[in-house]
Amino acid sequence: RTTGPIRRAKGGWTAEEDETLRNAVAAFKGKHWKKIGKYLYLVFT
């Protein structure tokens, strides 16, 4: 089961999306992936 946005198009992430993901992982110290996912969902929608 998936939650969150469906990718807009096939292909890699943009540089901005990569940076946002790295920042989220760093903020949560690489743990709490549900929180990271929720954060990314809020940022990208």
Higher pLDDT, 42 or 10: 42
Domain map of the chain by residue range? 15-44
Does position 34 have pLDDT exceeding 90, yes or no? yes
Q: 25 or 1, which is more confident? A: 25
Residues whose CB falls within 8 Å of the CB of residue 17, separated by 6 or more in sequence, listed in order: 44
Confidence band, pLDDT 50/70/90 cuts, at residue 35? very high
Q: 0.85 exceeded by the pTM?
A: no
The per-residue pLDDT for range 15-31, each reduced to its tens digit, is 998 999 999 999 999 89
Q: How far is CA 10 from CA 4, 5, 26, in A?
A: 16, 13, 26
